[in-house]
Every structure is written in structure tokens, then in C-alpha cells.
Structure 1
Amino acid sequence: MNWKHAIAFLFALLAGSYTFAQSAPGKTLTPGKHNFTLQWISWDVPGKVNIVKNADGTFAIKGEQYSDDKKDFVTIDGTITQTSPAELVFTGTIRTRYSNVNNGEVCEKKGTYHFLSKGARKYWRLQEMDNCEGNNVVDYVDIFF
């Protein structure tokens, strides 16, 4: 950015005509159906979550992704607050099961977790991604814009 562009940017910022949303297009959580994935199952055939705006400005989220045989899955049920275009704070339950991970047992996470969108990604990814198995096994749980 040359100095003329920098000065124009500063004037726009000070005048209030440049908003945070302009600097991060597409990263606004919106009500409706969104793609939802766990990498063990598929990125190509996503599940769905339904997001509903609550009266207090938070969002209810509920959804799932299942494997073709319905044995492996990820589910989510709880509340989301968008703290910035890049970050969602989720409170509720996330359950994952993949037959080759954690001895095929369900990994259940209850509590408050964080989803981040970095760079040009078109999704927010769960940051507390350690699977219950341990051993450096991680679950990539993604909520798409």
C-alpha cells in the first residue's frame, strides 16, 4: 500500500465509512442452514447445521454429519456468540465418533469451545480439536459461512 492509499484508508476509518465488516467479508454468522464437517467422515459430502438467531443476539446451533453407513458422525447442539468475524464462542455439546479413532467410542465434549476462521478459509474451525483418544489425534470440526 502506498502512502496515498494509507492516508485515504485512515481518513475513511476516521470518518466511519470503513467498517470492520468490510475488512472481513463473508465472515458474518447468519441464520439458516450451513455446511458442517468432520474430516474423518468427509469434506466432500458435508452435513448441515441449522443456525437460529436468539432474541439476546446469540445463535442456537444444532446439526450433524453422518457417514454413509450412519456409524460415524459429528453432532453439535448449543449456543454460539460471534465475538469477531474470525471467532465464534460455542457453549454446548459436540460429539464425534469415527470407527478407527478412540477405539470406535464416542468422544463427547461439553462446555465452552472456540471456532476460528483464519486467512482465506470459508469456515470456522474448532480450536479445542484434541480427540478423546489423545496420542496427537485431532478432530477438524468445521462450520462453514
Structure 2
Amino acid sequence: MMKKLITACLLTATLFTGYTAYAQQRAGNTIREGKHSFTLQWISWDHPGEVMIEKQKDATYTVKGEQRDEKTGDFVTIDGTLTVDSPKELTFNGTIRTQYSNVNGGKVCEKTGTYHFLAKGARKYWRLQEMDNCEGNNVVDYVDIYFH
């Protein structure tokens, strides 16, 4: 009888510890909802645009916004969903559009599908990892979503 009681206590403690670790891990896979700064290096890091991030019921987040240069019309837009893989890794599914007059003949570069944002080192932003612009020729777009 005592052996069964000890086994039951150990099993309960193991399950509780496992659940607590799982809950803490899931809680770490969240990001702040609300407005975040958003930039494309061709436009400006000094005058960021803005995205709105909102949590959905299925633990994903919607993300939508833009950065636009009012003088030139150059822009970057984002519209889709984010999954938080870790506090430094996001998976994006949706569309990112960039247009800069001196890149890709001034035409819009549209990326639709699944992409990845990473925050490396001490950076305070997640950067799109699939950076190649539609122009090719080793031209890259630094599309960044800032923590705040």
C-alpha cells in the first residue's frame, strides 16, 4: 500500500513538473501585442513605419502595417500571420511588398508565402531572413519588425 502511494506521489510530481515546464515554455513564446516600428533600409531607419500585432485564438498573431516615404512613394507593407517559435524567432505567413525607386527598376517586389524573422545577438528587432529582392544581383531588403 505504501509503495503504491509513493509511486502515485512521484507520478503526480513528475506530471506536474512536466506541465509546469511546458506552460513556462509556451508562455515564453509570446510577443507584445500592439504597435511596433517597422522599417525597410532603403526608405529610412530614422523614420519608421508601423505595424499592428494582435493575438488570435489559435496562438498566432496577425501583423499588418507599412512604412511609406510620402515624398517618393517608396514603401514596404506586410499583411499576414506570425507564429512565435521562440522569443527570437518568428514564422510569417502572408505577403510582404516592397518598392524603392532605385531597386528592381522601381517595380514592386512581392513575396507571398512562409518566411522567417530572427532577432540575432543583442538586436532589438526581428529581421526577415529571406532578404533577396526580386531584382536579384545580390540586392537585399532589410525588413525589420522592432520589439517596441
When normalised by structure 1's length, the TM-score is: 0.81
1:43 is the counterpart of 2:34: no
1:98 is the counterpart of 2:95: no
Aligned-pair distance for 1:86? 1.2
Partner of 1:71: 73
Q: How many angstroms apart in 1 are the aligned matches of 2:139 and 2:31?
A: 28
Write the mapping of 1:9-24 to structure 2, written as runs, cut at 5 A. none
Partner of 1:52: 54
Q: What whole-Å deviation, never above 9, does each CA across 1:88-115 have from its counterpart, x for those lacking one?
A: 0000000000000000000000000000
Q: How many angstroms apart in 2 are the aligned matches of 1:78 and 1:70?
A: 26
Partner of 1:125: 127
Secondary structure of the residue aligned to 2:126 is: strand
Aligned-pair distance for 1:29? 1.5
Secondary structure of the residue aligned to 2:121 is: coil
> Which amino acid counterpart does residue 135 of structure 1 have in structure 2?
N
Distance 1:31 1:70, change over 3 A: farther
Q: How many angstroms apart in 1 are the aligned matches of 2:58 and 2:86?
A: 17
CA RMSD of aligned residues (A): 2.1
Distance 1:93 1:141, change over 3 A: same
Q: How many angstroms apart in 1 are the aligned matches of 2:115 and 2:72?
A: 26
Q: How many angstroms apart in 2 are the aligned matches of 1:28 and 1:144?
A: 14
Gaps of 5+ in 2: 1-20
- Which one has a larger percent helix, Structure 1 or Structure 2? 2
Aligned-pair distance for 1:68? 2.8
The structure with more radius of gyration: 2
Off by >4 Å, runs of 4+ in structure 1: none
> Which amino acid counterpart does residue 121 of structure 2 have in structure 1?
G
Q: How many angstroms apart in 1 are the aligned matches of 2:60 and 2:142?
A: 23
Secondary structure of the residue aligned to 1:88 is: strand
